[in-house]
């Protein structure tokens, strides 16, 4: 966790990130999706975050 940022205290980070990004509900993660599915969702979030950051950086640098 980076200094000054909050972290999830009562759920694993991967679950918190997926639910916060609305890729799945907590109920869905508990009943429908597998751990592998959760890892795939987390990968999607990481790649999307990186691509958005890269686009922002490219926009700044012309």
* pLDDT (tens digit per residue) in 11-30: 999 999 999 999 999 999 99
Q: What is the pLDDT of residue 3?
A: 83
Percent of all residues in the chain with a pLDDT value above 90, rounded to a whole number: 84
Q: Which residue has the higher pLDDT, 2 or 41?
A: 41
Residue 1: pLDDT band (50, 70, 90) is low
Rounded to whole angstroms, how far apart are CA atoms 18 and 23?
6
Rounded to whole angstroms, how far apart are CA atoms 37 and 14?
11
Task: Find out whether 7 and 13 touch, Cβ atoms under 8 Å.
Answer: yes
Tokens 């700044």 locate to 60
pTM of the model: 0.80
Average pLDDT of the segment spanning 32-48:
97
């Amino acid at each position: 966790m980076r200094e000054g940022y909050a972290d999830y205290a009562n759920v694993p980070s991967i679950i918190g990130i997926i639910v916060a990004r609305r890729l799945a509900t907590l109920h869905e993660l508990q009943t429908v999706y597998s751990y592998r599915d959760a890892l795939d969702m987390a990968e999607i979030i990481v790649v999307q975050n990186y691509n958005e950051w890269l686009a922002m950086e490219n926009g700044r640098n012309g």
